[in-house]
């Protein structure tokens, strides 16, 4: 994690909190290969994405299950990953696999934080929609950054379940922000911890920064536009009814972030108003997609 955004006191606290996190699993190869493909058009073809998914038998089975579901209604049986990627579209399948692989790595039972999963999905969808509106070059990168922005919460919950739950309770009782509650209870917050984890996982620098700085976009250095997109998308996720935990202080969108994405003051509220129903629909659709993508054993959980 870049020391420029942290004071020496922050570094000491972060080190203390992350000491126990070295036991967390590493990022699956499939997820890191898919993340690499985002910035590399050569590696983002259907064949390449299919080849990466084929590395993992469980993900292959899920992909085939989705491609053969009623949701798509493809007239004949889809028997190979290559055809499944063509039917589903390489971007759709990459977004699904990435989100599922990362969350399941950190929370194998897939049960602890379903509200956080919805929040993350909404943030990813909002970041992608916003990227489209402001003509940000890589919509898939915006989705991945939005989807992963709060991984620090999952990591904290897995490592310090009691203290993390105490922070959530504080948010609900006192209406404070999650970062303030985490700092009080744990000494660090999910953005710092998420940035640390993303770096340890070898994620691209732009993503590490967007995760680490999503509550403080003015501290970004590498890609202020991406971090600002995620910051606004995080707020939009709350506005569409997908905040987590509920009851926290919603905060406001940073002036810096708006300036970075070059939306003039008078255009901001109309843009948000316009995006909310679009994002709500897209989130419902992604949730439905994801339902078909889950392992058969997970159904009903
Ligand atoms: Fe956050
Ligand atoms: Fe968030």
Please answer whether residues 202 and 185 qualify as being in contact, where contact means their C-beta atoms are separated by less than 8 angstroms. Answer: no
Q: Which bound ligand lies closest to the C-alpha atom of 120?
A: 2
Q: Grade residue 46 by pLDDT with cuts at 50, 70 and 90.
A: confident
Query: Measured in angstroms, how far is the CA atom of residue 227 from the centroid of ligand 1?
Result: 12
Q: Determine the length of the chain.
A: 301
Q: Grade residue 74 by pLDDT with cuts at 50, 70 and 90.
A: confident
Nearest to 121 by CA among 154, 99, 91: 99
Query: Measured in angstroms, how far is the CA atom of residue 97 from the centroid of ligand 1?
Result: 22
Q: Which bound ligand lies closest to the C-alpha atom of 235?
A: 2
79-83, 97-101, 182-186: least confident range? 97-101
pLDDT reading at 10 higher than 60: yes
Query: Average model confidence (pLDDT) for the chain?
Result: 88
Please answer whether residues 26 and 201 qualify as being in contact, where contact means their C-beta atoms are separated by less than 8 angstroms. Answer: yes
Please answer whether residues 177 and 190 qualify as being in contact, where contact means their C-beta atoms are separated by less than 8 angstroms. Answer: no
Cα separation, 38 vs 139, in Å, equals 9
Q: Which bound ligand lies closest to the C-alpha atom of 179?
A: 1
pLDDT reading at 152 higher than 50: yes
Q: Which bound ligand lies closest to the C-alpha atom of 122?
A: 2
92 contacts: CB under 8 Å, gap ≥ 6? 289
Mean pLDDT of all residues in 94-110: 80
Mean pLDDT of all residues in 203-209: 94
Q: Domain segments of the chain: what residues?
A: 25-106, 112-294
Q: Rounded to two decimals, what is the model's pTM?
A: 0.90
Nearest to 250 by CA among 230, 228, 235, 262: 235
Token code pair at residue 198: 């993303």
Q: Grade residue 297 by pLDDT with cuts at 50, 70 and 90.
A: low
Mean pLDDT of all residues in 171-187: 92
State pLDDT tens for residues 271-285: 999 999 999 999 999
Question: Which residue did the predictor score with more confidence, 44 or 243?
Answer: 243
CA torsion through residues 122, 128, 131, 135, sign: negative
Query: Measured in angstroms, how far is the CA atom of residue 177 from the centroid of ligand 1?
Result: 9
Q: What CA–CA distances, in Å, run from 61 to 50, 90, 103, 225, 293? A: 12, 16, 18, 36, 9
Q: Grade residue 296 by pLDDT with cuts at 50, 70 and 90.
A: low
Percent of the chain beyond pLDDT 90?
Answer: 55
Query: Measured in angstroms, how far is the CA atom of residue 214 from the centroid of ligand 1?
Result: 7
Q: Which bound ligand lies closest to the C-alpha atom of 146?
A: 2
Question: Which residue did the predictor score with more confidence, 174 or 105?
Answer: 174
- In the prediction, which pLDDT does 194 show? 96
Query: Measured in angstroms, how far is the CA atom of residue 148 from the centroid of ligand 2?
Result: 9
As a three-state string, the secondary structure of the chain is CCHHHCCHHHHHHHHHHHHHHHHCCCCCHHHHHHHHHHCCHHHHCHHHHHHHHCCCHHHHHHHHHHHCCCCCCCCCCCCCHHHHHHHHCHHHHHHHHHHHHHHHHHCCCCCCCHHHHHHHHHHHHHHHHHHHHHCCCCHHHHHHHHHHCCHHHHHHHHHCHHHHHHHHHHHHHHCCCHHHHHHHHHCCCHHHHHHHHHHHCCCCHHHHHHHHCCCCHHHCCCCHHHHHHHHHHHHHHHHCCCCCCCCCCCCCCCHHHHHHCCCCHHHHHHHHHHHHHHHHHHHHHHHHHHHHHCCHHHCCC
CATH architecture of the domain covering 112-294: Orthogonal Bundle (1.10)
Cα separation, 92 vs 232, in Å, equals 22
Query: Measured in angstroms, how far is the CA atom of residue 149 from the centroid of ligand 1?
Result: 6
Q: Grade residue 295 by pLDDT with cuts at 50, 70 and 90.
A: low
Query: Measured in angstroms, how far is the CA atom of residue 149 from the centroid of ligand 2?
Result: 6
- In the prediction, which pLDDT does 301 show? 41
pLDDT reading at 237 higher than 50: yes
CA torsion through residues 136, 154, 244, 214, sign: negative
Q: Grade residue 2 by pLDDT with cuts at 50, 70 and 90.
A: very low
Query: Measured in angstroms, how far is the CA atom of residue 285 from the centroid of ligand 1?
Result: 23
Mean pLDDT of all residues in 70-98: 88
Mean pLDDT of all residues in 233-262: 89
State pLDDT tens for residues 106-128: 877 766 678 888 899 999 999 99
- In the prediction, which pLDDT does 277 show? 96
Mean pLDDT of all residues in 61-83: 89
Which residue reads 């985490």 in tokens?
Answer: 182
pLDDT reading at 11 higher than 50: yes
6-20, 60-74, 185-199: least confident range? 6-20
């Amino acid at each position: 994690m870049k020391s420029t955004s942290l004071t020496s006191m922050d570094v000491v606290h972060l080190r203390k909190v992350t000491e126990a996190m070295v036991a967390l699993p590493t990022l699956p190869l499939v997820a890191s290969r898919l993340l690499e493909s985002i910035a590399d058009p050569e590696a983002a073809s259907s064949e390449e994405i299919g080849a990466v998914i084929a590395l993992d038998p469980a993900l292959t089975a899920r992909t085939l299950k989705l491609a053969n579901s009623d949701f798509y209604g493809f007239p004949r049986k889809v028997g190979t990953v290559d055809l499944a990627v063509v039917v589903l579209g390489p971007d759709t399948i990459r977004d699904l696999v990435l989100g599922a692989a990362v969350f399941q790595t950190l929370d194998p039972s897939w049960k602890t934080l379903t509200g956080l999963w919805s929040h993350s999905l909404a943030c990813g969808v909002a970041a992608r929609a916003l990227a489209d509106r402001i003509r940000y070059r890589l919509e898939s990168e915006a989705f991945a950054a939005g989807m992963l922005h709060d991984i620090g919460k999952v990591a904290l919950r897995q490592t310090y379940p009691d203290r993390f739950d105490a922070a959530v309770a504080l948010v609900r009782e006192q209406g404070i922000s999650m970062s303030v509650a985490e700092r009080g209870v744990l000494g660090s917050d999910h953005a710092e911890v998420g940035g640390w984890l993303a770096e340890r996982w070898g994620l691209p620098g732009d993503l590490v920064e967007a995760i680490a700085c999503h509550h403080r976009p003015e501290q970004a250095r590498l890609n202020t536009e991406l971090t600002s997109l995620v910051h606004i998308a995080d707020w939009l996720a709350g506005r569409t009814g997908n905040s987590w935990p509920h009851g926290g202080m919603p905060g406001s969108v940073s002036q810096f972030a708006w300036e970075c994405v070059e939306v003039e003051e008078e255009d901001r509220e109309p843009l948000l108003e316009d995006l909310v129903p679009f994002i709500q629909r897209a989130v419902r659709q992604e949730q439905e997609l994801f339902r078909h993508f889950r392992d058969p054993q997970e159904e009903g959980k």
